[in-house]
Amino acid sequence: MIAYTEAKKLISRWDKGTFDTRSDNIRDHVRERGGGDTWTYLRIAYEFNKTRSTRKVLPNGRIRFTHESGEFLIEHNGYIVTHGFNRPKQNP
């Protein structure tokens, strides 16, 4: 169970990105990257430490923060667009 105030805080940090709504973006990212646990995924993204990451401005104006571990966060106007982990490249 999650408190209403925490849920509101976590959800309010997200941008709708390329989706119609913020909730559509969250739902898609949880399904693709979050392992099905919405609140854990949102907490991890919310707590991402930007001060210990490299920062790169993308051509579309979004900002990508990346940790050495491969964990990344992309923001647009201060709101989270996506969070995840880069997968190591596979050799053919």
Please return the burial class of 86, using the count of CB atoms within 10 Å of its CB with bins 0-12, 13-18 and 19+.
Answer: exposed
Q: Which of 61, 65, 58, 63 is nearest to 85 (CA)?
A: 65
User: Could you list the mean pLDDT of each consecutive 10-residue stretch along the chain, which spans 92 residues?
Assistant: 92 95 92 82 94 95 94 96 80 59
Q: If you ran DSSP here, which 8-state letter would residue 72 be given?
A: E
Q: Which stretches of the chain are assigned E, i.e. beta strand? A: 54-57, 63-66, 71-76, 79-85
Strands of 54-57's sheet in order across: 54-57, 63-66, 71-76, 79-85
Give domain limits for the chain. 4-85
pTM: 0.86
